[in-house]
Amino acid sequence: MSTLSNTAVLQELAEAVRETKHNGHGQPANAPKYVYLFSEVEQAEELVNGSWDSVRGLLGGKGANLGDMTRLGVPVPPGFTVTTEACNAYLAAGETFPAGLFEQLLDAVGEIEAQTGKKFADPSNPLLVSCRSGAKFSMPGMMDTILNIGLNDEVVVGMIERTGDARFVYDLYRRLVQMFGSVVMNVPDEVFEAVITTQRKQAGVATDAELSASDWQMVTQKFKDIYRTFTGHEFPTTPYEQLKLATEAVFKSWNGRRARDYRNAAGIRHDLGTAVNIQTMVFGNMGDNSATGVAMSRNASTGEPEIEGDFLFNAQGEDVVAGIRLTQPVEDLQQSMPDVYAEFEEIAHKLEVHYRNMQDMEFTIEQGKLWLLQTRDGKRTAQAEVRIAVDMVEEGMITKAEAVKRVKPEQVDFFLHPQLDVMAVKSAQRIAKGLNVSPGAAVGQVAFDADTAEMWAKEQGRKVIMVRPETKPDDVHGMLAAEGILTSRGGRTSHAALVARQFGKPAVVGVGELEIDLESRLMTVGDMVIKEGDYLSLDGTHGTVYMGQIATVVPDFNNPYMLKLLGWADEFRTLGVWANADYPQDAARAREYGAEGIGLCRTEHMFFETHRLPIVQKMIMAKYPNERTQAINDLLPMQRGDFAALFRVMNGRSVIIRLIDPPLHEFLPSHDDLVRELDDLKVQLQHFHTIKEIDVALAEIRQKQDYLERVVALREANPMLGTRGVRLGILLSELTRMQVRAIFEAAIEVTREGVIVKPEIMIPLTAHVNELHVQQTTLEAEAKLVMEEQNMTVPYKFGTMIEIPRAALTADEIAEVAQFFSFGTNDLTQTTFGISRDDAESGFLVEYQQRGILTENPFATIDAKGVGKLMGIATELGRQTRPDLEIGICGEHGGDPKSIALCHKLGLNYVSCSPFRIPIARLAAAHAALA
Ligand code: PEP
Ligand code: MG
């Protein structure tokens, strides 16, 4: 403790300082100005050349705000702010007040005495103050507060005489001793709380509110005894000493454990220091014409322009927050105190206009007089954010650009997917966390395979959560029938994630702690067992899994405020927003959400449909060429139908159709499943009795054996880098030709219907320009053939994905053949990092992020320095060769706001993302343009 802590010395010093001032002598000549009255905010502003950010840096957010409100003429209890510079000087000097600070403090106390007509330590009209921290950035509850400074035994007697309310005064006094003891002197608060509990027992009452004046008087005395026992000193009775020690405690709390941890977590610098706000106490608990409350200037849930809040008559601020008494809605004040309510409404409006935002205000009414204690921008739901932004533009308070910038892209999600009810989540049992790959809420019964999921949903009308270790193409029917998807393996670009996003199914994947036992039809998380049929709730927005059924909130994309805001976003953005869509119904949804084209149609997804998969498998399993040709021919009308439907929906807009990409084994059952099933079948053979039974089993065994042989033949160490993409297209040129034929036949068919078609054919996984040459030759020949057969020409573009570093680095050569590029950032990330997109995210990438080796998941946000650099090179080289080269992105990053900002910077023409991300991308693209 500093040398000034001795009461007598301090009192003397305080008087001496005042004496000196009266004699016309000031404080040390060159001491900086450490203390600003709330009414001196303009001086602070001048000092930092008008920068409000710097005023906040100097006076802290709360101090700057209190000064600002004072300047606006809002009734704020008089007070002053000790600057963050004073805090830093104090800490730098080894916890010693810098020269001049104490004098300035006393001076300021003198000023508020003059402003209030009250006096420190004057029993007949005492000034009581609070002392609160206030850093530049809000750190709620992280630093210290002491209330009721200025009370001592004499003042208490005087106050009781004035107010006639001994209970009220002793309650204040015990709070001072308690806060001072715990905050300033580190006496454990539990010791104080134990005294109150004992007192309640002795008095035979259940709540603090029922304790009498004499109870609180006794409690105060005991608190003082505790204080002496723990600190070895008497409780300080000089208000100046209380004030000085409290100020020091707030300074020190900047370096307290809580505050440091909070700053580390929130990324706030440690050298900013905190300001200290010293402010006249006002009391909402001085009788029935006193009250205290909190209110928002607009409805924080819906955004409606109406004041919303709670208050309590005859109460202190914390009573409202603590929820021990039933609060009243703030509108009730309209009846009981109409003048005060009218004044409050006027202030709320004034503050909104000033801050150009919805305000969250704390107020106190002391014997009929309204005081504002704090105002800040109010927290609100996504729905309210959108409505308020739009209303404020229409009220002329903010510009359209500000409204657009104010709404975070992710907030748009609220209007697209059901969400778990925030209140219900509070009491829910969270069981696991995984990757949040597809947003929204899903509630349903666990089903462990696609057939069960589909059967329960379709035939029994049950809501289902499909749970699998990972999903494969032949699980898609179950995924479509389910409300949501949960897997224990897989990453952001895993099959489950891609499909879930595409169909807007909430999904959580890569939940490593989930042990799924398909045989016993149950799963475990730690020692918790969840059986098939049990209810789960998924929050795909945050990647959380809850036990049981949680209430959900229904979305509404047609919310007029939302639509208006997105319309404004479109006025600002320069980046196009296209969709990744494989089916006509996806394309229709994408159009509804504002997509301007299709940036990626993954044709292989059309092969995954239940009735098509066997044909695809037949093609793969074919032993003779004519067998394969037959299977491919069977697929042709299906593909043609798909493309025609897509062209119709996208009438007049570009549709990029990518030729087949994934490795063939993805269309067959997994190797491990086949081995297990074969073993089971062989074991069962012994139990069969009739020839017929044995014949059936043998046939099944032979079929599985065939599959297994083919799967083994197709097996590669890392199939995502093997025979897939253009390589597959070159090897299976018949398939390429079929797909091209389907595209052109469809295009001609719909053109005849009057639809405008703009097909763009895209080659996946190109690494070398020669691969494109080969595919171009095949494609042109087939296209020409179809056009001649049909006697009609359809203009089209031929382009490629850029998803292999070599393609990016040789983009100038590639652009000689390709008329457009689309960055496949899923594969480009995989191949640039050498990290498998299938399993890294539930493996070491998690640890990498935890340890800060990578700050972000490169599969979620483009790695700007590596992958982004390759994109920049490819864009530049490509446009050197072909200045009008159309360049887009269709990897999952196309729907990620940060990645969208990078695409804008790189000068791409469009981003393409799943239909459900379109509105988010529109807003993010506007943000990028406005940045
Ligand atoms: C990509 O790699 O980014 C891409 C869009 O293709 P796919 O995810 O289908 O490999
Ligand atoms: Mg790819």
pLDDT tens track for 477-522: 899 899 999 999 877 777 888 788 878 899 999 898 899 998 899 9
Distance of CA 475 from the midpoint of ligand 1 (Å)? 20
Whether residue 477 lies in the annotated active site: no
The answer to whether 578 and 910 have CB atoms below 8 angstroms apart is yes
Whether residue 495 lies in the annotated active site: yes
pLDDT band at residue 291 using 50, 70 and 90 as cut-offs? very high
Say whether pLDDT at 806 is over 80: yes
Atom number in ligand 1 closest to CA 826: 3
Distance of CA 925 from the midpoint of ligand 1 (Å)? 21
Per-residue pLDDT of 538-570, as tens digits, reads 999 889 999 999 999 888 888 999 999 999 999
pLDDT at 852: 87
Ligand with the closest atom to the CA of 603: 1
Say whether pLDDT at 576 is over 90: yes
Distance of CA 802 from the midpoint of ligand 1 (Å)? 10
Once rounded to an integer, what is the mean pLDDT over residues 782-798? 98
Once rounded to an integer, what is the mean pLDDT over residues 583-589? 92
- Alpha helices per DSSP H over 580-670: 584-592, 603-607, 613-621, 625-649
Ligand with the closest atom to the CA of 660: 1
Strands 514-517 and 507-509, how do they pair?
unpaired
pLDDT at 18: 56
Distance of CA 890 from the midpoint of ligand 2 (Å)? 9
| 22 vs 881, higher pLDDT | 881
pLDDT at 197: 92
**Ligand 1 pocket, residue 501 CB under 6 Å:** no
Say whether pLDDT at 164 is over 90: no
The position carrying tokens 């089903």 is 447
Among 160, 139, 120, smallest CA distance to 241 is for: 120
Distance of CA 892 from the midpoint of ligand 2 (Å)? 10
Going by CA atoms, what residue is nearest to atom 4 of ligand 1?
824
pLDDT band at residue 451 using 50, 70 and 90 as cut-offs? very high
**Ligand 1 pocket, residue 502 CB under 6 Å:** no
Distance of CA 883 from the midpoint of ligand 2 (Å)? 25
pLDDT at 22: 46
Per-residue buried b or exposed e for 239-249, using 16+ beta carbons within 10 Å of the residue's own CB? bbbbbbbbbbb
**Ligand 1 pocket, residue 824 CB under 6 Å:** yes
Per-residue pLDDT of 373-393, as tens digits, reads 988 888 888 889 999 999 999
pLDDT band at residue 12 using 50, 70 and 90 as cut-offs? low
The answer to whether 176 and 146 have CB atoms below 8 angstroms apart is yes
What are the beta bridge partners of residue 134?
Answer: 275
645 Cβ neighbours under 8 A, 6+ residues apart: 584
pLDDT at 144: 76
* Strand order across the beta sheet in which 291-296 lies: 328-329, 308-313, 291-296, 359-366, 369-377
pLDDT band at residue 2 using 50, 70 and 90 as cut-offs? very low
Task: Please give the full DSSP string across 219-283, using - where no structure is assigned.
Answer: HHHHHHHHHHHHHSSPPP--HHHHHHHHHHHHHHHTTSHHHHHHHHHHT--TTS-EEEEEEE---
Q: Which of 49-58, 273-282, 320-329, 531-540 is least confident?
A: 320-329
Going by CA atoms, what residue is nearest to atom 8 of ligand 1?
826
Maximum mean pLDDT: which of 250-264, 736-750, 850-864:
736-750
Maximum mean pLDDT: which of 498-502, 625-629, 705-709, 784-788:
784-788
pLDDT band at residue 16 using 50, 70 and 90 as cut-offs? low
Going by CA atoms, what residue is nearest to atom 6 of ligand 1?
824
Say whether pLDDT at 21 is over 70: no
Once rounded to an integer, what is the mean pLDDT over residues 745-767? 98
**Ligand 1 pocket, residue 663 CB under 6 Å:** no
Using a pLDDT cut of 90, give the percent of the chain over it: 70
Question: Alpha-carbon distance 337 to 284, whole Å?
Answer: 14
Query: In whole numbers, what is the pLDDT of the chain averaged over residues?
Result: 91
pLDDT at 29: 61
pLDDT band at residue 25 using 50, 70 and 90 as cut-offs? very low
pLDDT band at residue 584 using 50, 70 and 90 as cut-offs? very high
Say whether pLDDT at 219 is over 60: yes
Once rounded to an integer, what is the mean pLDDT over residues 91-101? 94
Say whether pLDDT at 353 is over 50: yes
Per-residue pLDDT of 594-604, as tens digits, reads 999 999 999 98
pLDDT band at residue 715 using 50, 70 and 90 as cut-offs? confident
pLDDT band at residue 861 using 50, 70 and 90 as cut-offs? very high
pLDDT band at residue 19 using 50, 70 and 90 as cut-offs? low
pLDDT band at residue 768 using 50, 70 and 90 as cut-offs? very high
Atom number in ligand 1 closest to CA 892: 3
**Ligand 1 pocket, residue 825 CB under 6 Å:** yes
Ligand with the closest atom to the CA of 899: 1
**Ligand 1 pocket, residue 890 CB under 6 Å:** yes
Kindly list the protein residues that place their beta carbon closer than 5 angstroms to ligand 2, a single-atom ion.
Answer: 803, 824, 827
Once rounded to an integer, what is the mean pLDDT over residues 200-216? 90
Structure tokens that stand for 520 in this block: 């016993």
Distance of CA 662 from the midpoint of ligand 2 (Å)? 8
Which of 598, 657, 721, 803 has the most ligand 1 atoms within 8 A of CB, as the residue to mutate? 803
Collapsing DSSP to helix, strand or coil, 212 comes out as coil
Per-residue pLDDT of 608-661, as tens digits, reads 888 899 999 999 999 899 999 999 999 999 999 999 999 999 999 999 999 999
DSSP state, residue 38: G
Question: Alpha-carbon distance 614 to 545, whole Å?
Answer: 35
**Ligand 1 pocket, residue 582 CB under 6 Å:** no
**Ligand 1 pocket, residue 803 CB under 6 Å:** yes
Going by CA atoms, what residue is nearest to atom 1 of ligand 1?
824
Atom number in ligand 1 closest to CA 493: 8
Say whether pLDDT at 535 is over 50: yes
Among 267, 325, 268, smallest CA distance to 292 is for: 325
Once rounded to an integer, what is the mean pLDDT over residues 392-413? 95
The single residue of 601, 890, 903, 913 carrying the catalytic annotation is 890
Distance of CA 294 from the midpoint of ligand 2 (Å)? 53
CA-atom Rg of the chain in angstroms: 35
The single residue of 495, 605, 665, 904 carrying the catalytic annotation is 495
Which of 493, 833, 859 has the most ligand 1 atoms within 8 A of CB, as the residue to mutate? 493
Among 194, 112, 147, smallest CA distance to 292 is for: 147
pLDDT at 342: 97
Going by CA atoms, what residue is nearest to atom 5 of ligand 1?
891
Say whether pLDDT at 10 is over 80: no
500 Cβ neighbours under 8 A, 6+ residues apart: 437, 438, 479, 484, 485, 506, 507, 509, 540
Say whether pLDDT at 1 is over 50: no
Question: Alpha-carbon distance 736 to 782, whole Å?
Answer: 9
Question: Alpha-carbon distance 360 to 321, whole Å?
Answer: 14
Say whether pLDDT at 453 is over 60: yes
**Ligand 1 pocket, residue 602 CB under 6 Å:** yes
Atom number in ligand 1 closest to CA 823: 3
Distance of CA 580 from the midpoint of ligand 1 (Å)? 10
Once rounded to an integer, what is the mean pLDDT over residues 514-541? 93
581 Cβ neighbours under 8 A, 6+ residues apart: 502, 587, 589, 590, 595, 598, 600, 601, 646, 914, 915
